[in-house]
């Protein structure tokens, strides 16, 4: 309902957005989880007028039948076409496992088909009955101008604030010690020849004073490992064009992923080649002579100045929405400065070495149309396969909500 409402709202506001652009102003609306994100930019003396006009339209908006039908059909196509790309499909399957609350695309499509315009008209007042508003003003504005902008919001949405206990909370699963879980799926597009393997290693939650050091370690590890990983599996072994590794944060829990997409090999073979690379990482890290270069390069990147006002705005807003973690790049850079090669080796040995009890791994395997899915079924007796996701989630433990 919220996703459909935001699409309808964007459609309704198109005329105002076009007028704003003509006047060298900008407005943008988007949705994420439970939030509605509004962004405005341009001449500071015109922003109050633009904001007021935007909010007035939002406050009075109710969809008409014709536009509801069009936008609903567009939303239906969007859901039907989601996860056609094997890479995005793999990430979707991973997040379904990790999130305490995960919305299935097919279930969403089923619900969407049953929605009527009367449902939406009943939903909109309920949606706006209580809200928590958080805003950020940045640029050529005085303090009193920023306060005036916030008062426009309070005036237009004169409702009770949403209590803390009702604000959106999600939890990341706490994978059990020594977990070696697997989730298999066929590609959604039946003519898609590419297969994908994604190995996700869960690290620790981003809490306490150690979280900055952990962030520094995982970023430095990523910088050191990315190029040799790509060189070995893409250039030398020719497994596929798309090869990479990256660090992730899922509801305030650090993780690290290795990912390969291939049209020539099935996910089991790709997994074996990634495992082979990971098993040799300790020797590689010990022998690598480029540690000082990687450490200096990361510190330099972290301390780079923002190239524009919009880039600075985005950085500040990201820090606000991440529990007011201001100057995080400077703090991480200080931690990177203190790291030694042995710290990176110990990070690897603790969270990725097979013999470590703290190694917790989830393998997502997406099987292309030219691979034999029966190979996955034949291995289920010797692998920790997640066959019933709902049952798995019910039996799992999750990190507490104070992690985010």
Given a cut of 70, the residues of the chain with pLDDT beneath it are 33, 401-404
CA distance 266 to 375: 9
Buried b (16+ CB within 10 A) or exposed e, 283-319: ebbeebeebeebbeebbeebeeeeeeeeeebeeebeb
Which CATH topology does 180-403 take?
Answer: Cytochrome Bc1 Complex; Chain A, domain 1 (3.30.830)
**pTM for this predicted structure:** 0.91
CA distance 320 to 71: 33
- C-alpha angle 213-219-220 in degrees, rounded to nearest 5: 90
Contact 91, 36 (CB under 8 A): no
Give the model's pLDDT for residue 403.
Answer: 44
**Extents of the domains making up the chain:** 2-98+102-166, 180-403
pLDDT 10s digits, 357-395: 999 999 999 999 999 988 888 887 778 999 899 899 889
Buried b (16+ CB within 10 A) or exposed e, 102-137: eeebeebeeebeeeebeebeeebeeeeeeeeeeeeb
Give the model's pLDDT for residue 147.
Answer: 93
Q: Which CATH number fits domain 2-98+102-166: 3.30.470.20, 3.50.30.10, 1.10.260.40, 3.30.830.10?
A: 3.30.830.10
Query: How many helices and strands, by DSSP H and E, does the chain display?
Result: 16, 10
Give the model's pLDDT for residue 33.
Answer: 67
Contact 360, 68 (CB under 8 A): no
Give the model's pLDDT for residue 404.
Answer: 40
Contact 50, 18 (CB under 8 A): no
Helix axes 328-338, 291-302, angle to 10 degrees: 160
In 3D, which of 182, 357, 352 has the Cα closest to residue 279? 352
CA distance 401 to 404: 6
Joined tokens for residue 108: 């969403």
**2-98+102-166 and 180-403 share one fold:** yes
pLDDT 10s digits, 31-85: 876 788 889 999 988 999 999 999 999 989 999 999 999 999 999 999 999 999 9
CA distance 141 to 167: 30
């Amino acid at each position: 309902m919220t996703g459909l409402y935001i699409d309808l709202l964007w459609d309704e506001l198109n005329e105002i957005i076009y007028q704003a652009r003509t006047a060298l102003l900008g407005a943008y609306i988007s949705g994420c989880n439970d939030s509605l994100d509004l962004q405005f930019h341009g001449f500071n003396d015109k922003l109050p007028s633009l904001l007021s006009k935007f909010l007035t339209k939002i406050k009075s908006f109710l969809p008409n039948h014709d536009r509801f039908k069009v936008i609903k059909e567009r939303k239906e196509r969007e859901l039907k076409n989601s996860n056609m790309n094997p890479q995005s499909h793999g990430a979707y399957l991973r997040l379904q496992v990790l999130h305490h609350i995960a919305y299935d695309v097919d279930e969403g499509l089923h619900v969407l088909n049953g929605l009527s315009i009367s449902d939406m008209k009943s939903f909109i007042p309920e949606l706006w009955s209580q809200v928590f508003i958080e805003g950020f003003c940045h640029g050529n504005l005085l303090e009193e101008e920023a306060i005036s902008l916030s008062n426009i919001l309070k005036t237009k949405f004169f409702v009770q604030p949403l209590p803390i206990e009702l604000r959106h909370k999600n939890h990341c699963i706490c994978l059990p010690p020594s977990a070696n879980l697997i989730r298999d799926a066929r590609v959604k597009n039946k003519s898609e020849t590419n297969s994908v393997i994604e190995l996700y290693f869960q690290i620790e939650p981003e809490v306490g004073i150690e979280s900055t050091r952990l962030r520094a370690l995982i970023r430095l590890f990523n910088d050191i490992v990315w190029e040799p990983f790509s060189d070995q599996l893409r250039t030398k072994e020719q497994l596929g064009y798309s090869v990479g590794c990256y660090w992730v944060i899922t509801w305030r829990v650090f993780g690290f992923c290795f990912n390969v997409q291939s049209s020539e090999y099935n996910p089991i073979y790709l997994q074996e080649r990634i495992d082979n690379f990971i098993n040799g990482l300790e020797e590689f890290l010990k022998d690598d002579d480029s540690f000082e270069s990687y450490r200096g390069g990361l510190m330099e990147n972290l301390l780079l100045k923002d190239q524009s006002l919009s880039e600075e705005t985005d950085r500040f807003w990201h820090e606000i929405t991440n529990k007011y973690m201001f100057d995080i790049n400077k703090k991480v850079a200080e931690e990177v400065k203190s790291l030694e090669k042995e710290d990176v080796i110990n990070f690897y040995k603790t969270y990725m070495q097979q013999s470590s009890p703290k190694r917790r791994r989830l393998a997502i395997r997406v099987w292309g149309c030219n691979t034999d899915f029966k190979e996955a079924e034949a291995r289920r007796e010797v692998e920790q396969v997640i066959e019933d996701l709902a049952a798995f989630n019910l039996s799992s433990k999750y990190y507490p909500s104070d992690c985010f």
